[in-house]
Amino acid sequence: MIPNQSEKLKRAQKRVKDLKDFYRHLRVYAVINILLFIVKLRAYDFFTEKGIMDEGFFNWFEWNILGTPIVWGIGLALHAVYVFVLKSKPLKEIRPRFYKEWEEKQIQKYIDKEKESANKFK
């Protein structure tokens, strides 16, 4: 089946929207992580000036400041894979072949069961 112009337009618009969403996600990631880095530098100075030298607190603080860009970066990387590698394809198109085959077999199985139960009552 040859896609018509409106389908092509819809796909192109979705692709552009997905690209814009990714770049927005990347900008927010960069800004927030720069702010976290600044907070980290200022917080160390603030707490050491106040005489707070709790090593447990500093370890907790550092792991939280470093954990955010790492975990968020994984999510951003997955977003990039979806947009640039998978070309923003719908999930139905991305599913593995064996999954599609399994789904078709299951549908056929339930259709056959329906036919059997309908034949029993005749």
- Give me the residue spans of the domains in the chain: 5-89, 91-122
DSSP per residue, 53-69: --HHHHHHHHHHHHHHH
Q: Confirm whether pTM is higher than 0.75.
A: no
pLDDT above 80 for 81: yes
**Token pair of 48 as six digits:** 């050491």
Task: pLDDT band for 71, please (50, 70, 90 cuts).
Answer: very high
Tell me, what DSSP letter sits at residue 51?
A: T
User: What integer is the mean pLDDT of 98-108?
Assistant: 85
Percent of the chain clearing pLDDT 70 (strictly above) = 95
Q: When comparing pLDDT for 99 and 105, which is higher?
A: 105
